[in-house]
Amino acid sequence: MRHLVRAVLAAAVVLLLVVVPATAADPSLPHSGRVLVSTGGDVVLPAGEQADAVIVVNGTATIHGRVNTVVAVDGAAVLTDATVETVVAIRSPLASGRGPRCSVT
């Protein structure tokens, strides 16, 4: 339980330090106001969909669409045919499938 609390707090800090300033910037990807958060589960963003942020703690973020910021804590981030501006992986592997297009800011 203590480990989960630390992971959630780490994700919250990353959210405040990375996602909030990123939404104030003028990035190449549009902002929709859509934020997907999962603790202890997986998130899949299908092709053709867009999100400002995908945050996963103890799960896998699988991205096929367009995301401004992906955050994975104690999980994994899988980018397949994805367009992503920023990826933050804390104790998490980052995998790219076929044809990822990532521009890290």
Alpha-carbon gap, residue 61 to 41, rounded angstroms: 9
Element at 54 (helix H, strand E): strand 50-57
> Region 82-95: what's the mean pLDDT?
93
Distance CA 6, CA 59 (A): 15
Pair 76, 60: CB distance under 8 Å: yes
Question: pLDDT of 6-62, one tens digit each?
Answer: 666 566 656 555 555 554 444 577 888 999 999 999 999 999 999 999 999 999 999
Q: Contact 85/104 with Cβ under 8 angstroms?
A: yes
3-state DSSP assignment of residue 61: strand
